[in-house]
């Protein structure tokens, strides 16, 4: 038997690529159904209060209208801890844009027109939508994950700051960010005698099934969710949102008929979550040798009245640097706004902007090179737990990045490089993301009579390359060529899988697939002498325990370098060059891995320079609800971006030796750009985005 070459580490093109470019890869709204109906929502026009009356007469009289949904005529749902999913269950209004009704019609145009004919009367109440750090009702949220507590402290930061040779005590802010994935949030729902079938864009078919089954009081086996291809998500599609519930309610009014529902771009700004704004105070103290003696980081954020969500912007701070005195805190304000949600690198992306900006400021105060300052303060073990890292090569990333970027020729004096009317500067920032491990995945592998192998798991591909990389993992584990493996994902008909979130998907699903492959090979050998039975053979396995999980800290690291150019007359900022060096264990597929990091770095640049959800406090809603006024970085904004990996294999983290990378690349990118802008201009911008008015001082 010829052993095929190892699949992991091979830069394969996407296996699903040909279907996508031909249009053969079906997305949720494209799934073919007979005679679909269309849903359009009615949304509240006030931020808080209650409904006093609804008149649906004109909408119902419109030809082509099939049903008008209100709180008076939909079934009662089971209460959950997520109040946004209690769609049309009461008259209370908790945020501007909340669903207060819906119209189902023969065409999307009729449904939209009819929704505008529904008259809703309200009794408004005073609303509270402004986040401030000096509020007297701020509170510490409950810990979301035990390994990332909302409060951590050791030593005495105040005393250490008072005696430190060099200090920084500054406040940094980040605005509201919106996901804006290419594929909108879409659902095709149908009720049959066998239950509810949903084709939708989601990061977790099984989480949707569990949630909808609970809401509607169904056995989970009576809910099927199908989502083989997802056109981007960035976290907005991890949890099922209110649009899925409204679509299911609408389809229930028309048994046997499919109802399609796609949120508009404007509606997505209100109804699909967002990264909340943050107000972060960072205090750093160093001794005369430039070694940190104190780290203090407090983050103030917002949540809704319907569900607690904490961005956890201090999460990375406890991992990064060695300091005897540490204090990190998270505080929440409960406002009359939609519930924030997961967005790429939740916590780390805004938190590391603040921390790495402050580190740069302290390096300047100490008169030290920013790269060398970070390396000098590298911890030997995890600064909080005291446990060793499975693999920590941040210093190597910084050194290699500096060499590739040409850092050694840098003049450390700000505003010292003027070229043809542009001030030029360079900046650096570190980045990190934990190697999260989510429980619950199961994989089934069938050895087919034809000699091929079918792998089934309810995983998701958000455009990240899961179809390809998971096939590579399966091929290696089975000892066959990639071409001999057929992968099936994105359907609750397949075994349960954890969500595609926290850069954990491939690590968790891959570990499960490896376990199933090893079991298949072992059972074939012990029960059938290594010979495949005539009818084929099938096994299932769950994710194996990791014996190293309790003794080692597992994180990915990297270094981001940026060049910024600022027009000396207008303050216009351009970023012609970004470079990142990353340590994430084994890279399963260098093609898709590089693509993930390149996209994340671009998103970090967009965060630094452009994106800003502007809330009008008078009306409690974001006013720039489209891609014309909420600018996202495009090709015209991007210069050269280089992505480099350190050769690695982390044998402690999982059988593949791979850590997640989907979120690592956005972390630190904004800080590197802000630090480069400071080096170019001598102006320290602590409030994102970096706009020209901040530089024309």
Residues forming beta bridges with residue 579, ordered by sequence position: 561, 642
Q: Is 42 within 8 Å of 242 (Cβ atoms)?
A: no
| Backbone φ and ψ of 275, nearest 5° | -80, 125
Q: Which helix (H) or strand (E) holds 605?
A: helix 590-609
Q: Which residues are catalytic?
A: 663
Nearest to 541 by CA among 446, 656, 660: 446
Spatial separation of the C-alpha atoms in residues 88 and 70, rounded to whole Å? 6
- Decide: helix, strand or coil at residue 549: coil
Contact 375, 691 (CB under 8 A): no
- β-partners of residue 43 are 99
Residue 185 structure tokens: 């949030």
Structural tokens at position 191: 């009720």
- Tell me whether the omega of the peptide bond preceding residue 676 falls within 30 degrees of 0, making it cis: no
The region, left, alpha or beta by phi > 0 then psi within -120 to 50, assigned to residue 631 is: beta
What are the backbone dihedrals phi and psi of residue 431, each rounded to the nearest 5 degrees, phi first?
-140, 155
Identify the three-state secondary structure at position 173: strand
Task: Name residue, tokens 């986040």.
Answer: 131
Q: What is the 3-state secondary structure (H, E, C) of 1-27?
A: CCCCCCCCCCCCCCCCHHHHHHCCCCC
Bridge partners, 554 (sequence order): none
**Phi–psi pair at 324, nearest 5 degrees:** -65, -30
Neighbours of 297 (CB within 10 A): 27
Angle at which helices 669-681 and 590-609 pack, to 10 degrees? 50
In three-state secondary structure terms, 64 is coil
For 18, list phi and psi in degrees, rounded to 5: -55, -40
Task: Answer for the pair 278, 174: CB distance below 8 angstroms, yes or no.
Answer: yes
**Distance (Å, rounded) from C-alpha 615 to C-alpha 618?**
9
The dihedral over CA atoms of 591, 597, 603, 606, expressed in degrees to the nearest 10, equals -100
d(C-alpha 453, C-alpha 445), whole Å: 7
3-state secondary structure (DSSP) of residue 517:
helix
Among 585, 490, 554, 500, which Cα is nearest to 225's?
490
Asked if 309 contacts 277 with a C-beta cutoff of 8 angstroms, the reply is no
Sole residue written with tokens 């296996």: 15
The dihedrals phi and psi of 687, each to the nearest 5 degrees, come to -125, 115
**Other C-beta atoms within 10 Å of 295: how many?**
31
> How many helices, marked H, and strands, marked E, lie in the chain?
16, 26
């Amino acid at each position: 038997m010829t052993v095929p070459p190892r699949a992991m580490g091979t830069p394969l093109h996407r296996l699903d690529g040909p279907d996508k470019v031909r249009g053969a890869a079906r997305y949720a709204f494209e799934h073919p159904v007979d005679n679909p109906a269309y849903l359009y929502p009615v949304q509240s026009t006030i931020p808080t209060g209650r409904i006093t009356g609804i008149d649906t007469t004109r909408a119902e009289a419109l030809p082509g209208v099939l049903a008008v949904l209100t709180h008076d005529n939909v079934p009662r749902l089971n209460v959950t801890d997520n109040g946004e999913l209690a769609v049309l269950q009461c008259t209370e209004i908790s945020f501007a844009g909340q669903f207060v009704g819906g119209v189902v019609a023969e065409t999307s145009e009729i449904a939209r027109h009819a929704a505008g004919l529904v008259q809703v009367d309200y009794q408004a109440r005073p609303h509270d939508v402004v986040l401030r750090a000096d509020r007297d009702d701020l509170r510490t949220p409950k810990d979301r994950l035990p390994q990332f507590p909302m409060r951590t402290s050791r030593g005495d930061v105040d005393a250490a700051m008072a005696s430190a040779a060099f200090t920084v005590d500054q406040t940094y802010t980040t605005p509201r960010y919106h996901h804006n994935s290419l594929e909108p949030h879409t659902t095709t729902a149908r009720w049959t005698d066998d239950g509810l079938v949903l084709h939708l864009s989601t990061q977790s078919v099984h989480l949707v099934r569990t949630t909808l089954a609970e809401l509607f009081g169904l056995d989970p086996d009576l809910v099927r969710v199908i989502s083989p291809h997802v056109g981007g998500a960035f976290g907005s599609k991890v949890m099922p949102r209110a649009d899925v519930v409204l679509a299911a309610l609408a389809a229930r009014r028309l048994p046997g008929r499919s109802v399609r529902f796609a949120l508009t771009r404007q509606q997505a700004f209100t109804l699909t979550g967002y990264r909340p704004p943050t107000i972060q105070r960072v205090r750093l103290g160093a001794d005369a040798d430039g070694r940190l003696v104190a780290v203090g980081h407090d983050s103030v954020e917002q949540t809704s009245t319907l569900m607690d969500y904490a961005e956890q912007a201090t999460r990375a701070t406890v991992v990064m640097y060695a300091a005897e005195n540490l204090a990190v805190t998270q505080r929440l304000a409960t406002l009359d706004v939609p519930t924030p949600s997961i967005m790429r690198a939740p916590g780390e992306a805004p938190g590391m902007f603040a921390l790495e900006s402050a580190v740069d400021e302290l390096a300047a105060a100490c008169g030290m090179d920013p790269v060398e300052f970070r390396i000098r303060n590298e911890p030997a073990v995890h600064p909080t737990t005291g446990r060793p890292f499975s693999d920590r090569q941040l210093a190597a990333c910084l050194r290699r990045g500096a060499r590739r970027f040409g850092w050694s020729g840098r003049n450390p004096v700000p505003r010292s490089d003027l070229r043809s009317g542009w001030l030029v500067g360079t900046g650096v920032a570190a980045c990190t993301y934990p190697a999260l491990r989510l429980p619950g995945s199961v994989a089934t592998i069938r050895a087919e009579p034809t000699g091929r192998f079918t792998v089934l798991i309810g995983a998701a591909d958000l455009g990240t390359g899961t179809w390809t990389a998971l096939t590579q993992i399966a091929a290696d584990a089975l000892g066959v060529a990639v071409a001999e493996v057929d992968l099936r994902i994105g359907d609750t008909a397949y075994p349960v899988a954890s969500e595609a979130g926290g850069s954990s998907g491939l690590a968790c699903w891959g570990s499960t697939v490896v376990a199933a492959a090893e079991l298949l090979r072992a059972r074939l050998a012990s029960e059938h002498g290594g010979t495949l039975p005539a009818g084929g053979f099938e096994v299932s396995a769950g994710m194996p325990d990791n014996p190293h999980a309790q003794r080692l800290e597992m994180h990915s690291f990297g270094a981001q370098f940026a060049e910024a150019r600022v027009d000396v007359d207008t303050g216009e900022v351009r970023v012609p060059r970004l470079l990142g060096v990353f340590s994430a264990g084994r890279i399963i597929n260098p093609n898709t891995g590089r693509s993930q990091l390149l996209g994340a770095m671009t998103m970090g640049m967009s965060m630094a320079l452009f994106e800003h959800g502007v809330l009008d406090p008078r009306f409690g809603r974001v006013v720039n609800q489209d891609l014309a006024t909420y600018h996202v970085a495009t090709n015209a904004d991007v210069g050269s971006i280089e992505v480099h990996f350190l050769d690695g294999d982390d044998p402690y983290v999982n059988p593949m030796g791979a850590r997640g990378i989907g979120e690592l690349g956005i972390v630190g990118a904004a800080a590197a750009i802000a630090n480069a802008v400071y080096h170019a201009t001598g102006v320290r911008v602590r409030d994102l985005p970096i706009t020209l008015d901040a530089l024309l001082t």
